[in-house]
Chain A
């Protein structure tokens, strides 16, 4: 960051060197070497930024580092608070050798892949429709954003009423159609499907809005050129629209992967991780280990492993995406 500041200063005429002194900027001594000015400015920059950096460190860096310390230490609770013992890998060993962690990871990965894929397809389709709408697009956008604007726990509670086997509207509808009382949240497959459906309902508008923004940025002359070349609508979509959308879609997918991987509120409210442990996400598992079992080291190990995995997934996605863009560019 320091070097970036240095380059910017060196490349731009400063007020002191030849700029407008009437603006009130202190006049720099002509004898002072340019490097020392840059260093002084960098120091001032750090000084002014330090309060904000301290706040960021307190709310972001400290918890992350503290979690790392917790996960690699023997942690005991004693009268007066936590007591840290010797360094250990026991928390990770216990986690990585337990089938429940793998089940939770499998559910979370499956949920992330399925829900993000469906949201991406539906969100893109919705954005394409919205782009062609004239009057009333604002109203439809506002309506579409309602699910996204709802607080997650409230949305989950709303759907738990709808899925409720006794008085839920969805259950009632299924009963009318199939003549049998369904147990939507009580069976593993239907519970997972219900969870994906709720997430798609809630988050597709977000993807649609992001993709719509990307669509509106595509210049019209590109489409005109495709039309002159005689490209069909289908070809135009695949050869023109989609490649142009790639950067914005990548951002949307990245956000969604990060959110979906940390899913907690939906299974917590809808199924408490059940039936059995079928919908137990890694976040729910971490919550149980940390807050129910009061195993601080184990809970921190879940958090750290999850962070590493999700980071790996995002990096992998970006690498694959970049390769695709490069191929597209060469083509």
Chain B
């Protein structure tokens, strides 16, 4: 037996090669879709990768959904795998697991920015043919857009999220001011209240170099009438509209309406400042309502209101809201594709959507549920006003979305910090987008 370094190296290389082969793909998509089209009548077990769903009354929402599904499908048992609540952390964990061909989880909850990337990388089953005709009529068009890549849906709706302008109604009333309808009015209102010494910051938002800023940039650009990608997915960012949006972001910090620390703020930072009474306005996702209006958690509970984001003066449009949220994806390597698909459809259906309106601090994806008795009983303005919002999807119809997002947030962050002019910021973003869409960005 002659074991030496050469033998060991050869062994390791063989093991690596064996591992490589073990991870090889090669399943036929038609076969997978055929399996997914039939709900099994035999006993089946599913695993659902799900992060914590915010709860209104302390119940574990995912467990309620699983019990409801098992009542309808007594032969199918579902167990839960607790996932991270952050989108990036979640993506890292699930992507590596799925890329290795793991059959578990059968169904996983993912961000609405994932479908194109996951569809392109064969990490999600195309579900378009497995949904009944007219299925998408029940959901917002922006959600269908973000769930679709090259004409095929890769995600089944679960809940959405939208952004709002939260405001201190007590301070506006004190100064006899109304909720601003334009960004220009918001700047004036903020300065008035700030100069009176009633609040430190006028407008709190998020400009850290993360996805948070991409959502904000998408909104400001849409407010101004600028487009990031055209219908064919080409970078068309530019023009006076885009510069107007970038100029506004720079103006917030230059005029002291937004503290300079916004360049490192994410949603939780801005929300913390607002609930501690440091800001007059806050742009944040719908969940901020529950946090900001809960006595004991928030110093401004009972003093706040929520409404649509403002638009730009002269455009004749109100502001838009970024379409966010989480959808269910089916693992193509699942051994129970039929049951998994049925579970994903069930979560998108009327029963679960009403359950979400009643129990969860999220916006149900089904449009009709937003005006349901359950939603009215919860009384959350973020849910009740969701149907009135003008939604804009992020430029997610590309498999290179993380690079596209980075191409937007990196120059935008520099503009907010004042180290890049708005015009240069737009130019840098456009160049970055082109590189990203060619798949050449890191």
Contacts and interface: CB of A to CB of B under 8 A. Distances in A.
B284 to A, nearest CB: 14
Most chain B beta-carbon neighbours within 10 Å: one of A53, A94, A294: A294
A84 B20 contact: yes
Interface stretch (A129-137, A203-211, A225-233, A268-276): A268-276
A271 B275 CA distance: 23
Given A77-B123, A285-B442, A274 B413 contact: yes
Given A275-B264, A291-B91, A83 B209 contact: no
Contact of A80 (B13, B117, B273, B333): B333
A298 interface: yes
Given A81-B23, A165-B260, A294-B117, A61 B273 contact: no
Nearest to A293: B402
B263 A186 contact: yes
B4 A186 contact: no
B417 interface: yes
Interface string B324-341: 000000001100000000
B78 to A, nearest CB: 23
Interface string A151-192: 000000000000011110001000000000101011100000
A95 to B, nearest CB: 7
B197 interface: no
Interface string B240-258: 0000000000000000000
B440 interface: yes
A273 B409 CA distance: 12
Given A61-B12, A65-B13, A79-B332, A296 B413 contact: no
Interface in B295-322: none
B263 A79 contact: no
Given A65-B16, A274-B209, A81 B261 contact: no
Contacts of B265: 165-166
B110 to A, nearest CB: 13
B133 interface: no
B325 to A, nearest CB: 19
Contact of B410 (A64, A166, A277): A277
B37 to A, nearest CB: 16
Interface string B69-113: 000000000000000000010011001100111000000000000
A28 interface: no
Interface string A251-280: 000000000000000000001111111000
A274 B276 contact: no
A66 B19 CA distance: 8
Contacts of A43: 1
Most chain B beta-carbon neighbours within 10 Å: one of A77, A100, A273: A77
Contacts of B150: none
B435 to A, nearest CB: 9
A2 B4 contact: yes
Given A66-B19, A81-B24, A292-B91, A94 B440 contact: yes
Interface string A74-90: 00111111111000000
A265 to B, nearest CB: 13
Contacts of A298: 442
A272 B209 contact: yes
B25 interface: yes
Contacts of A167: 272-273, 276
A166 B264 contact: no
A288 interface: yes
Nearest to A95: B442
A92 interface: no
Nearest to A46: B3
Interface stretch (B26-34, B54-62, B151-159): B26-34
Given A81-B25, A275-B413, A276-B209, A164 B269 contact: yes
6 contacts: A79-B29, A83-B26, A272-B210, A273-B209, A275-B413, A293-B442
Interface of B: 1, 3-4, 8, 11-13, 15-17, 19-20, 23-29, 32, 88, 91-92, 95-96, 99-101, 117, 121-123, 208-210, 259-261, 263-265, 269, 272-273, 276, 278, 332-333, 400, 402-403, 406, 410, 413-414, 417, 419, 440, 442
- Which 7 interchain pairs have the tightest Cβ spacing? A165-B261, A78-B25, A81-B101, A274-B209, A291-B92, A186-B263, A80-B25
